[in-house]
Structures are given as structure tokens and as C-alpha cells.
Amino acid sequence: MFPRMSNRLGTALLLLCAVCAPRLRAEAASSPVVRYHFGDDPDGKLGWADPDFDDIAWPVAQQGRWLEPPFYSDGFVWVRVQVPVRRDAAGPLAVQISNQSAFLIAEELFVNGVPVGRQGSLPPQAAPVAYARSAVFDLPPGAAGKGTTAAVALRAWYPPGVRSRAGATAVFAVDESRNLHLELRANHFAALIGDGPNLALNAIIFLLGAGLILFWRWAGGRDLLVCSWMLMAASLMPLWGASVSLGLVAVSLWTYSLVYVGLQALSMAATVELVWAVHNLRALGLKRLYHASWVIGNSTFLILSLGVKPSPIVFWSHQAMMPALLCFDSIQIAVNLWALIARRANGLVAAAMIVIPVTDLLQNYGNLRGVHIGPFYETYFGLSLFLCEFALFAMLGQRAWKAWRARDELRVEFDAAREVQEQLVAPAMDVPGFRIESVYAPAKQVGGDFFRVLPGSDGSVLVVVGDVSGKGLKAAMTVSAIVGALRGCNLRGPREVLEYLNRVLYGQVSGFVTCSATLIAGDGEMTHANAGNPAPYRNGEEMPVGTGLPLGILQESRYAETHCQLGPGDRLTFVSDGIVEARNRTGELFGFDRTQAMSGAGAQALAQAAIDFGQDDDITVLTVTRWTDGGARQAPQAAPALVPA
Amino acid sequence: MQSETKARVDQLTSPVGHPVTVLRFEGDIASTSKDAVLGTYQSLPKETSKLVLLDFTKVDYINSSGIALVIQMLIEASNSGQKVYAFGLSPHFTKVFTMVGITKYAGLFAGQAEALGAL
């Protein structure tokens, strides 16, 4: 009848059956006596599948629940039950087995001694299925008679990882094939409906996690990143499990287990990192123990899932898995309880993160199961996961939003600081008698390098180049003080200039300032004093100059002067240490040799070469070329923008 | 990219029989190395550590903030009347140390044997 129904009517009937079928079947099954026996009858010589076999000596499964075989055994258990067949059954017959919580099993079903179907593969080529679904197997003609009792025998094999548990049950029925198939479909549909809210909520959690990833790319923040990973992995895990158990995805046990354990491990690792990041914890020993517990828990889970022989490694995995997971939950509870008291600002996050392990423990060691709402079912653990994950998403999302706003305001402040610094360290302009080219490339938004080119009324030019140790805003503030001091200074002698700056800076800076001052007279006579800055290069050759302590270290530092004569067309190249200490990915330095080799190539080329090599610090290059014709003041060199490597 | 600074203290005897304290540094030296550099130096008993060697053999990189720490340590040593030599610097950082005037406070040597011999 069903195939001839319209699709809409068929769907409606299916829905009705989905809601009612499990209850009807449960009522119909009048609890026949179930007997079981450990061991195997692989070739049927013992007759365990035969209808006439006398199983009176076999233990009776209490309330239909038979025990699983001992760990050190062949893993087989046979179950026999006499199932009545309706006299008024019409059409071909079939047998149905409704597995209850059958996880990791391979099974074969016989009716009156006739093998009718199997799930998974039994030893010697053992390949259990992750979830043994309810199944209906059509009986060959004559295998069972209407109005009689059929001897149904189940030959089940349990891998070592799931032996010695609390027991297993199944419901058996022999009835009209079309009815049983219809009921099977209805049961699957009911399972789908029952899991619907679970699947939908996990899909939402996954999308929230994916949304957090996008938000993280925009706003940054380690806690946001690990939270997004935790949400996505934790939601994919039940989605994957449900997809396989509902038969939506058909994969091998290997694939199922690897994906499941991978997701679970990722979720637990992200949880550890999230807890430590959110509460800003440092207890590295405890963190290692926390990580070790999930590594042990998941690796032993994988061994238990995939081991087919009862070896010591499987035995000890069996012993270690639950304590490892208990350890994981306990650390999560303890750390978050501590945070609840000591890190009150994180109180809500801590409270949310306590809920998950508490419900997990109550589920594993207590009697906490789940709740039925109409046709829907959800475990308390699942509900706590949803609540916690939503709460985490909301709280961390709000926190990240505030942090992003604060950073945005800070960015505006930095932009303003950069504008001010661009005024203070403006590109140098040619001065009468000298051609000037400069490049200033801070490693961050603002830098700690500085230079000043100060022409004199006598045709001379004073060049001051320096570098504040460190970088960023702190160094930039010191640069402002130095430039301000130079503006108020009428000194022209390099030694006097350095000693003046040293007095200004002493006691005012936490690090030091390297600096060189060079006075070039109109006739080319050059006087140079150096306080720890790299020596200048003259026409590609490093100049031998005196050295001195950087500024700001000793109150009474003294600096020697070096003199030489510059000819027409001679070019001096001043660099900051950001050039020589540019580092590539392997840690190799740009170094003095490369700097010297490129010092004649011009400021732009030298700076760009160092940036391409690997900028690690502020970079300044300033070249001063003595003109032969005492040329007029010109506009700043049109320097192309430097491209970061 | 930056690796953590580690510091270790060894006690040696110079060829002429004087006790020598060796500070052996490892990793990069930067602004975050204050405890490793200054902290380790300041933990030395001044009265018994009159001769100090600084071992930079396993130091990969020293930035300007790290050099500031070394200079601060050398000035403290100078004020305490300690004699300090350094060895194991790469040619690059030997040049940098010379450039910033560290040679006025500490002799620079290629290896430990040369530094010990000069004490």
C-alpha cells in the first residue's frame, strides 16, 4: 500500500509513525526470554543458531540485558530469543533487530538457523561498525512460518575496547516485511526528528564559531581565536557523531574514529588554551598536566576504538581513559572556581566554563541523562554545552568588541603621533652647497630615529643623526624632546652639540641615544663627533671616526672630534643601526659589509635593500653630497614610497 | 623570532690563580633580558667577584635595548671596581660594541682562553 500512496500522504504517515512507532513497538514486544552465552559457534557445529537447540542452560538476560564478554576472551556472545510470528501476517516476512545503544559491534543474525543478515564484519576479518543501527532483513521463503515461533539467534562480536561494560539489549521482531521496513524508516525519521534540535543548535554554534573567526581577523585577540576553534570543534563533534549514527554519512570505523577523536582533541586543546588565555594564567605545570590529560584521554579512546585484540595496550588504555578525562574535567572545574574568586572580572566566563565539566561528570558518574520534550530529546550535557557556548560567544564577543574600539581609538592617537613626527623628522631638503637625500622608515607607526640638517649662515651645514634605543611611542617621545632641544641650540661644534644633548638627556631616558654630529664647512672641511652611531661612509668607504658612549648614560661624557676634507662631489652616507641589523627569516644580519657595499647607491636603494632583507628596527639613511657649484635650495628629493619586505 | 635569554654563572680560576666569575649568556639579548643580564650580574657577591668574564658565545642577537643593558652592567661593574672582559662575540657585534664605546669598560676577546689569559 505504501508505494501507491501520494508523496504527501506518505510523508504524513511517516511522520505519524515517527512519533508513535517506538512506543507501539515497545508495547508490542512482550519481553520474551532472552538467553545468552559467551563463545562462538563459527561453523554451526554446536547448533547454536538451530531452532531445536536446547539453550536452557544458558544464562537468562535480566530485563533483556545480556552481559558483554570478558576483556580477555574471543569477544563473542550469542543471544537467543523465541519470537512469535503473527498468524495473520500477509506477504513475505522479515526480521527486525533494534539495537539499543550498540556502540562498536559486529553482528550476524539467524532465524531458525538460517543466516539472514549482518552489520560489520566479524573475526577473523574483524571490522565493527561505529553505531549498529536498527536493521530489517528479509527472510527467505520458508525460513519462518506464520503463527509459529521463530528462533532468532544473534551472533555478536565486541572489540576489546567495549567489553565488560554494563550490558547490551536489543529488540527482535518477525513480521510482515513491508510493515517492518515502514517502521524502520519511521524509526529513522523519529531519530532524525529527535535529534533535530541538537543538530540545529550545533549548527548554530558552528556558525557562531566561524563568525568569531571572521571577527578575530578584524579585531584580533588570542582568546577570541581559541574560543572560535573550541566552538567549531565542539559543535562539529556531535554533528559528526549524529550524522554517522543516523546513517546520513557512511564511513569506515577508521574514518569515523579519526575524525571524531581529532575534533574532540581540537576542542579540548582549545579549551585549555582558552582557559589560560581568558584568565591570564601562568601555572605552566598545571597547564601541561591539563594538556596531557586530553592527549591521554583521546589517544586511549582511539586505541579502544580501533583495537581488535585484547592486548595489554588496549587493557591499559581502558584503565587510563576515564581517569584522564576525569583529570581534565577536574582541572577545568578547579581553575575556573579559582578564577571565579580571584579574577572577578572573568566571573561569568568562569561560571560558564564550569558548567560543562560538571555535567560531564554527572553524566559519567551520576545518573544525569537527558530530557524528552515531545518527540525531541536532548542530554543535559548537550544542553549545558549549548548554554556555555552561547554564553562564551556573547561574553568574549562583547569583550573583543570593546577591545577593538579601544584599539581603534589608540590607532587614531598613533596616527596623530605619526603626523607630528612627520613634521619633526621631515624629509631633508637640499641646502646651498649640498645635495641632501633622506629616507626615514619607522619599524612601527612612529620611530625612534631622528636627523636634522641645519644650514649655517656661513655656508656650512650641521648634520645630526641619531637613534633612541627601543622603538615605538616611547622612543618617539624621546625623539620629540631631542628635536626640541636641537631647535633651541645655537651650538655648531659637533663635540659641543653631543655634550649638550647628553646633558639634556641624562636622567631623562631609560635606555640611551646613539648620535653623531657632523659639521661640513662651505670649503668642505668636515668635523665629526660620534656617540655610538654607525660611522658614516664616504664615497662607499667607512670613515675611521672616534667612538664614544651613547648619550644619556653618563652625566659627563666627553666626545672626540675627527677631521677630514671633503672634495667636490664627495658623498657622505649616514645610517642608523636599523640598516646593519636588518635580519632575514634565518636570523642573518644585513651587516656592515652589505651596508658598505651599497652605501654608494643612494639613500633610497640602501634603505629599500635593508627593508627587503628584513626590517627589524627603525631605518634612517641620510646622504650629503657636496655640490661643486653651490647650487640653490631645491625641493626635497621626490622619494618613492618604501615597500615593506 | 626573538629567543629567550638564559644566563648561567660559572666559577673558574685564572692562569695566575685568581677566582674568575663567568656569566654565560644564551639566546637573544633585548629589552626583555633585564632579569637575565642585570639580575644575574647583580646577584653576584661584589666582594668575591672581582674578575668577571662575559660569555656571548651562544648569543645570537643583541639589539639596542640589549646593548643598553650591557652598558649599564659594565658601568655598575666599573663603579664597583670589578674588572670585566667579554668574549665569544661575532665580528658584527664586536664592531657594534666597539662603536658604542664598550671597549672603554670591557676588553673584547675571541675566546675564553684569551680572555682568561689577559686577566
Say whether residue B3 is in contact with chain A using an 8 A CB cutoff: no
Question: What pLDDT is attached to residue A547?
Answer: 86
Q: Which range scores top for mean pLDDT: A90-99, A157-166, A263-272, A398-407?
A: A263-272
Residues B51-94: tens digit of each pLDDT = 999 999 999 889 888 898 999 999 999 999 999 999 999 999 99
Pairwise CA distance, residues B99 & A451, whole Å: 19
Q: Looking at CA atoms only, how far is residue A506 from chain B in angstroms?
A: 13
Q: Looking at CA atoms only, how far is residue B11 from chain A in angstroms?
A: 30
Number of H helices, E strands in chain B: 5, 5
Question: What pLDDT is attached to residue A638?
Answer: 38
C-alpha torsion sign, points B24, B30, B33, B37: positive
Does the pLDDT value for residue A3 go beyond 50?
no
Contact A554 B75 (CB under 8 A): yes
Residues of chain A found within 8 Å of residue B68, distances taken between Cβ atoms: 469, 511-512, 550
Does the pLDDT value for residue A634 go beyond 50?
no
Contact A514 B64 (CB under 8 A): yes
Substitution target from A284, A449, A469, A515 for chain B, most B beta carbons within 10 A: A469
Which run of H or E residues covers position B94? helix B91-99
Q: Which of A547, A583, A589 minimises the CB distance to B101?
A: A547
How far is CA A241 from its chain centroid?
21
Contact A467 B64 (CB under 8 A): yes
> Average per-residue pLDDT in chain A?
85
Task: Kindly state the DSSP code that residue A147 receives in the 8-state scheme.
Answer: T
Contact B65 A550 (CB under 8 A): no
Cα→Cα distances A634→A287, A431, A571, Å: 63, 7, 18
Contact B1 A617 (CB under 8 A): no
Please report the DSSP string for A112-124 in residue order. Answer: TTEEEEEESB-TT
Residue spans of beta strands (DSSP E) within A242-395: 370-373, 376-379
Q: CB within 8 A of A77, min separation 6: which ones? A: A36, A37, A38, A39, A66, A67, A68, A69, A156, A157, A158
Does the pLDDT value for residue A629 go beyond 70?
no
Residues A39-77: tens digit of each pLDDT = 999 999 999 999 999 999 999 998 888 888 998 999 999
Residues A205-222: tens digit of each pLDDT = 899 889 888 888 877 778
Rounded to an integer, the average pLDDT of A130-145 is 87
Give the count of Cβ contacts less than 8 A between chain A and B: 61
Rounded to an integer, the average pLDDT of A26-51 is 83
Per-residue confidence band for A632, with pLDDT thresholds at 50, 70 and 90: very low
Contact A549 B92 (CB under 8 A): no
Q: Looking at CA atoms only, how far is residue A511 from chain B in angstroms?
A: 6
Count Cβ atoms below 10 Å from residue A585 Cβ, excluding itself. 9
Question: What pLDDT is attached to residue B32?
Answer: 87
Q: Looking at CA atoms only, how far is residue B79 from chain A in angstroms?
A: 12
Q: CB within 8 A of A487, min separation 6: which ones? A: none
Residues A355-388: tens digit of each pLDDT = 888 988 888 787 777 777 777 777 787 788 788 8
Contact B71 A547 (CB under 8 A): no
Residues of chain A found within 8 Å of residue B75, distances taken between Cβ atoms: 553-554
Percent of chain A past pLDDT 70, that is, above it, reads: 92
Residues B3-39: tens digit of each pLDDT = 788 999 999 998 888 999 999 999 999 888 999 999 9
Query: Which grid cell sits at A367?
Result: 545518573
Which of B63, B71, B68, B31 is closest to A511 using CA atoms? Answer: B68
Q: Which of B1, B31, B68 minimises the CB distance to A512?
A: B68
Which run of H or E residues covers position B108? strand B106-109
Say whether residue B32 is in contact with chain A using an 8 A CB cutoff: no
Say whether residue A587 is in contact with chain B using an 8 A CB cutoff: yes
Question: What pLDDT is attached to residue A445?
Answer: 79
Does the pLDDT value for residue B97 go beyond 90?
yes
Q: Are B105 and B75 in contact (CB under 8 A)?
A: yes
Say whether residue B67 is in contact with chain A using an 8 A CB cutoff: yes
Q: Is the peptide bond before A124 cis (omega within 30 degrees of 0)?
A: yes
Residues A290-340: tens digit of each pLDDT = 999 999 999 999 998 888 889 999 999 989 998 999 999 999 999 999 998
Question: What pLDDT is attached to residue A592?
Answer: 94
The interface residues of chain A toward chain B in range 449-488, judged by CB-CB distance below 8 A, are 467, 469-470
Does the pLDDT value for residue A644 go beyond 70?
no
Contact B100 A547 (CB under 8 A): yes
Q: Are B59 and B26 in contact (CB under 8 A)?
A: yes
The SS3 of residue A247 is coil
Cell 620611530 appears where?
Answer: A447
Q: CB within 8 A of A116, min separation 6: which ones? A: A95, A109, A110, A137, A138, A139, A140, A143
Which run of H or E residues covers position A546? none
Substitution target from B100, B104, B108 for chain A, most A beta carbons within 10 A: B100
Say whether residue B99 is in contact with chain A using an 8 A CB cutoff: yes
Contact B100 A550 (CB under 8 A): yes
Say whether residue B98 is in contact with chain A using an 8 A CB cutoff: yes
Please report the DSSP string for A399-433 in residue order. Answer: HHHHHHHHHHHHHHHHHHHHHHHHHHTPPP--BTT
Q: Do β-strands A537-538 and A525-531 pair in parallel, antiparallel, or remain unpaired?
A: unpaired
Which of A592, A610, A195, A555 is closest to A377 using CA atoms? Answer: A195
Per-residue confidence band for B1, with pLDDT thresholds at 50, 70 and 90: low
Q: Are B36 and B28 in contact (CB under 8 A)?
A: no
Q: What is the ipTM of this complex?
A: 0.89
Bridge partners (DSSP) listed for residue B10? B22
**Chain A residue whose CA is closest to B69:** A511
Task: Kindly state the DSSP code that residue B39 receives in the 8-state scheme.
Answer: I
Say whether residue A575 is in contact with chain B using an 8 A CB cutoff: no
Q: Which range scores top for mean pLDDT: A204-213, A337-346, A634-643?
A: A204-213
Question: What pLDDT is attached to residue A580?
Answer: 93
